[in-house]
Every structure is written in C-alpha cells, then in structure tokens.
Amino acid sequence: MAVQQLRKAVDTLGLEEEVFHILRHPERLIQVRINIRLRDGRRATFLGWRSQHNSALGPYKGGVRYHPNVTVGEVVALSMWMTWKNALAGLPYGGAKGGIRVNPRVLSREELEELSRKYIVALMNDIGEERDILAPDVYTDQQVMAWFVDAYSLAKGIPAWGITTSKPSELGGLRARVVSTGYGVALCCRIFADRFLGGLEDRTVAIQGFGNVGRHAALYLSKWGAKIVAVSDSRGGVYDEKGLNIEDLVKVKETRGSVIHYDKGRVITNEELLLLDVDILVPAAIENVINESNAPKVKAKIIVEGANGPVTPGADDVLRRKEVIVVPDILANSGGVIMSWIEWCSNRMGCWVEEEEAMKRLERRMTNVAKQLIDLWERRYGDKDLRTVAYVVAVDRVVRAMKLRGWI
C-alpha cells in the first residue's frame, strides 16, 4: 500500500523515476538482537528494528511497537507513512518507525523493562533528540517511554527529555497528548462538515473503535453538536438513530468492558456499522476495514480515517467514483504527532508549555493544514482523491528539501 500510494504521488507530480526509487527505500534500516533474562532464569532472544525512512526535513520521528507479528516490511512501510504525515503537517521532522517482535503480555514488568532498556542501548548511536525521536505505538505506553528516556539519559550523562514524546507529565510530557489524536479527528470532521455538508450541527456520525482515538473523537464531536448514532469496539457496536450519550458509553466501556452493554439502542456488528446511512463515518480501530468488497455499499458522505490505513487503495477508487470524500489518515490522525512536536519543542526549550496553550496550537496547526489541502484540491487536483493530493503535498515538500540539499 505504501509503495502504491507513493507511485501515485510521484506520477501526479510528474517526478523522475529515480525519485520514486530513492523514496521507496528507507535511508537506514537497523536490526538489533536483544536478549534478556526471564523470571525462570532462562534467556530469551528478540529481534527489533528501527527504520529511518527520510531525514530531508529534520530528525527522524516515529513510534515503536511491540507485537508478536511485527515484520521488518511493516516497520519500513510505517516509517514511510511517518515521513509523509510529518511533512504534510509541516513539522521539522523526517519519518521513522521501530518495532520489537515480542508478545509483551506474557512478559513481567521487569522483563519488559529490561527489553526496553536494551533496545535503547542497542540503538544508542542511531537515535537522539536531534537525530531520531521515539514515541509509543501498539503495546508501548508512557512507562516504556520513561524507561527509554532513562536508559538514554544514563548512558549519555544528561537528562534527555527530547529523546521520546508522549512521556508522563512528570518527565516533561503533556497530558493533552492523550486526547490529541481524537481531538484532531474531531476537528477534521468539523472542518469537512462545515465545508461540504453545511455544518456539523446534527450531522449523523458512526465511529468504529472506542479506544484512545475513537472515544475522544466521539466526546468532542458530541460536545460540538454532532449526533453520534453508532460506536463499536472489537466485540461489536451499538446503534441508536436518535443519538447515543457518549459520556454514558465511556462509563459502560470502563465498567463492563464493551460498548455492546449500553442498554439504549440496538446491538450491531462492526460490518453493519461501516454501512450505516450516516453523514460521517470514522473508522478508528484497525486497517483495511473498508475494502473493495464493502466500499460499493458504503452510504456515508465523508469518511475520516482515525485509524492508520482503514481504507484500502482498491476501496479508494470505488469511493472516488461514488464521490465519497475520504479524509486520509496522514491528515486525520496527525493530531498526535503535532502534539508530540509541541512537547518536543517545549522539552528542548526547557520551558514547559501549558496544556491549554498546547491545545490551541494543535487546533491552529490542524485547521491550517486541512484548509490549505482542501484549497489545493479544489484549485488544482479536482479529478484526484484527497489522499493523492495529501501525498502530493507531502512528497513535494520532501523532494524539494532533498533537491536543495543535494539529494541526501
């Protein structure tokens, strides 16, 4: 998918074939072998990677995931997406991603800590607050970031807060980071509804996924007057055409584990949720859920990609023909990385930004990026889907920087 999307952008921009070949590979790909001592005295060995895709616009930046199925190809593709996401948001960053092939759920806290610290030690000379900045991803959290900071700081002999973002607030993190991706998704819904549906008030919305992204997007959207008619999690969804009470749903999810236990409304499947007759659909759970087989039956007017890669390239073509607007992930879920950048700036200045100010800066940045993209789409690329236009902006920024620097 990553290579296909790059192909489209390179062709749309009319760039030379050699540019495609430069950008389809990471600048650097590091593999590390980590071994740790288990509780029972045995030693276990794990493979980890860091893919540093591009640094034309600044230091590499991207998360680290711990998952038993992580592959090197996945890490490379994700690092390329980070390059475009950061470039589109106008951040002074390149793109990177890391991963360790491990099931963190079977490790004790001490084992996880040793694994995390050794990953940093193995990458010590390849990362840094001016070189490559890490962040959480699947199954890594603020505690893992705190271990990363400590391992790096101890080895370098300096407190290096800027080596990761999304840290605990005691270590220079921002509490606003938790809501920032969902807030950005909600902002995108509002901006696109204002522009293409005549406003957000009373527009119907269905949200797949009620985790960090989906839940916060739902809370902001309902506060701003949208009517959330359906939400779901991995166990299924709940639908009420009169609108759901999101605060009650948050409580149900926290106390009973799933939104399907909400007692008002009708229980539906995840597949049904995607095909509801709503104004806005927000897939905020996992990838590839809207594909060639269900895209012809989608009734939403606007899809805002809260998750990474929920709409496949085949579905993109179907939806474009149906004139459904797809707000691409590299814009829609960039609120998290924008907030991470605000955290990193504040860490490097040694002057902690206030939470309220951070939220205002995020809103300004996302609104400007989204509006400029819509403007370019309408002026120059009306025959393309919005994803291609977003890629065009991002790839163009990276290519210009590379050219000026002499093709690094």
210 is an interface residue for ligand NAD by CB under 6 A: yes
* Side chain identity, residue 161: W
Q: Say which residue the tokens 């509006």 belong to.
A: 371
Considering the complex, state which of residue 5 and residue 333 has its C-beta at the smaller distance from ligand NAD. Answer: 333
For ligand NAD, how many residues bind (rule: CB under 6 A)? Answer: 20
Q: Contact region for ligand NAD (CB under 6 A) — 153-161, 187-195, 283-291, 314-322?
A: 283-291
142 is an interface residue for ligand NAD by CB under 6 A: no
270 is an interface residue for ligand NAD by CB under 6 A: yes
Considering the complex, state which of residue 332 and residue 402 has its C-beta at the smaller distance from ligand NAD. Answer: 332
Strands 28-37 and 60-67: unpaired
307 is an interface residue for ligand NAD by CB under 6 A: yes
Nearest-angstrom CA–CA distance, 33 and 48: 6
Query: CB nearest ligand NAD: which residue?
Result: 211
Contact positions with ligand NAD (CB under 6 A) in 219-248:
232-234
Q: Contact region for ligand NAD (CB under 6 A) — 15-23, 30-38, 89-97, 279-287?
A: 279-287
Give me the active site residues, please.
97
Instruction: Single out the residue of 286, 345, 376, 401 in contact with ligand NAD (rule: CB under 6 A).
Output: 286
324 is an interface residue for ligand NAD by CB under 6 A: no
Considering the complex, state which of residue 97 and residue 117 has its C-beta at the smaller distance from ligand NAD. Answer: 97
Residues in the chain, overall count: 408
Q: Hey, which residues does 1 pair with through a beta bridge?
A: none
Q: Contact region for ligand NAD (CB under 6 A) — 120-128, 147-155, 280-288, 290-298?
A: 280-288
Considering the complex, state which of residue 10 and residue 82 has its C-beta at the smaller distance from ligand NAD. Answer: 82
Contact 390, 376 (CB under 8 A): no
Would residue 236 be called left, alpha or beta, if left means φ above 0 and alpha means ψ between -120 and 50 degrees? left
In sequence order, which residues have a C-beta less than 8 Å from that of residue 161 and are 6 or more positions away? 129, 149, 167, 171, 172, 347
67 is an interface residue for ligand NAD by CB under 6 A: no
Give whole-number Cα distances, 15 to 26, 296, 331, 358, 359, in Å: 19, 33, 23, 37, 37
Put the strands of the sheet holding 132-136 in their side by side order.
28-37, 43-54, 95-101, 60-67, 132-136
φ, ψ of residue 321 to 5 degrees: the values are -65, -30
Strands 302-304 and 227-233: unpaired
Instruction: Single out the residue of 48, 62, 99, 306 in contact with ligand NAD (rule: CB under 6 A).
Output: 306
Considering the complex, state which of residue 36 and residue 60 has its C-beta at the smaller distance from ligand NAD. Answer: 60
In sequence order, which residues have a C-beta less than 8 Å from that of residue 186 and are 6 or more positions away? 216, 217, 220, 221, 224
Considering the complex, state which of residue 119 and residue 210 has its C-beta at the smaller distance from ligand NAD. Answer: 210
Give me the least distance between CB of 343 and ligand NAD, in Å please: 13
Q: Cα angle at 68 between 63 and 69, to 5 degrees? A: 80
Q: Contact region for ligand NAD (CB under 6 A) — 28-36, 151-159, 221-229, 303-311?
A: 303-311
Which residues lie near ligand NAD (CB under 6 A)? 181, 208-214, 232-234, 270, 284-286, 306-308, 333, 336
